[in-house]
């Protein structure tokens, strides 16, 4: 009986509203809540994997859910030791507001980063151009703060997500095929059939050129000194530049073969004898 009385006295010992019994109760509640949170995180991971979220977004959402669960655990523990939950939430809300105002730029990048990871206008490895920022190159990494871009001359550009979301995004790699559009000139003295034949032979000699969709060759416009022909050739996206520069070289060789010279501006002067 003396032992039980002593235990009761120890548990009843308090400083203000905080007693030893409340502290022990809070520890037990913490252990139970911690185990429950650990059990809940496994199905959360499975659910996030099922939705196929990006790795970065997956980690962020997992961390956010864990923070929310930990916040609920803190509220339960605070209630068990006599701290009013309303007061606790009010203090945390004021603290959160102060932090949000001080780092609103970072929160803007974070929010836009989440939108980019959900909308997926591009992914790592694709070639993109971001209007306004002037950034163009291969996407190396998409984080919650910025997009890391590697330019073709091996420079790394970090573009804030807020800037990416606010500008036009051109994705050059999202589709399997791209079209090479080039124009070439030939003088008015060159028969149209000859010019078209030379251009067709150039296209046929291009290993990157696809026949389905079929290439297109025709007169584009009438210039002051020449006819302008348009050549449109479909190639696979990964060999676009090989096809682009290859077509320029192939047309030069084909023009030389058929004796076609690109027209240049000239002036005829007629002299009259008095």
Q: Is the pLDDT of residue 100 over 50?
A: yes
Q: Which CATH class is domain 17-102?
A: mainly alpha
Query: What are the angstrom distances between the C-alpha of 158 and each of 141, 194, 216, 243?
Result: 10, 50, 40, 30
Specify which of 4-13, 49-58, 117-126, 218-227 reaches the highest per-range mean pLDDT: 218-227
What's the CATH number of domain 177-257, 3.40.50.880, 3.40.50.300, 3.30.70.100, 3.30.390.30?
Answer: 3.30.70.100
Q: Which CATH class is domain 120-171?
A: mainly beta
Q: CA–CA separation, 105 vs 162, rounded Å?
A: 9
H-run or E-run covering 216? strand 216-222
Percent pLDDT > 90 in the chain is 31
What are the pLDDT digits (tens) for 137-181? 999 888 878 889 999 889 999 998 888 888 888 998 888 999 999
The pLDDT, as a whole number, for residue 268 is: 66
Q: What is the DSSP letter of 215?
A: P
The pLDDT, as a whole number, for residue 88 is: 64
Q: CA–CA separation, 14 vs 30, rounded Å?
A: 20
| Cβ contact 164:134 at 8 Å | no
Please confirm whether the linkage preceding 244 is cis (ω < 30° from 0): no
Q: What is the mean pLDDT of residues 29-51?
A: 83
108-126 burial string, b = 16+ CB within 10 Å, else e?
A: bbbebbbebbeeebbeeee
The residues spanned by each domain of the chain are: 17-102, 120-171, 177-257
The pLDDT, as a whole number, for residue 262 is: 72
Reading phi first (left if > 0) and then psi (alpha if -120 to 50, else beta), residue 224 is in alpha
The pLDDT, as a whole number, for residue 16 is: 47
Q: CA–CA separation, 233 vs 231, rounded Å?
A: 7
């Amino acid at each position: 009986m003396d032992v039980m009385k002593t235990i009761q006295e120890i548990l009843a010992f308090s400083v203000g509203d905080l007693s030893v019994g409340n502290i022990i109760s809070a520890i037990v509640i913490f252990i139970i809540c911690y185990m429950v949170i650990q059990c809940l995180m496994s199905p959360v991971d499975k659910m996030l994997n099922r939705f196929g979220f990006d790795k970065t977004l997956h980690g962020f959402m997992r961390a956010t859910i864990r923070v929310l669960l930990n916040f609920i655990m803190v509220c339960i523990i605070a209630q068990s030791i006599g701290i009013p939950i309303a007061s606790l939430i009010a203090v945390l809300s004021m603290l959160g507001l102060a932090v949000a105002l001080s780092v609103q730029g970072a929160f803007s990048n974070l929010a836009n980063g989440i939108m980019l990871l959900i909308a997926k206008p591009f992914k790592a490895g694709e070639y993109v151009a971001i209007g306004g920022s002037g950034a163009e190159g291969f996407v190396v990494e998409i984080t919650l703060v910025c997009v890391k871009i590697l330019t073709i001359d091996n420079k790394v550009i970090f573009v804030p997500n807020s800037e990416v979301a606010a500008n036009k995004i051109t994705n050059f790699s999202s589709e399997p095929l791209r079209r090479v559009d080039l124009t070439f000139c030939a003088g008015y003295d060159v028969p149209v059939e000859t010019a078209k034949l030379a251009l067709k032979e150039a296209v046929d000699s291009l290993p990157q050129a696809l026949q389905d969709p079929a290439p297109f060759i025709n007169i584009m416009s009438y210039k002051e000194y020449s006819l302008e022909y348009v050549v449109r050739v479909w190639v696979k996206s990964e060999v676009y530049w090989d096809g682009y520069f290859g077509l320029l070289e192939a047309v030069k060789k084909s023009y030389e073969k058929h004796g076609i010279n690109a027209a240049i501006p000239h002036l005829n002067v007629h002299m009259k004898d008095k």
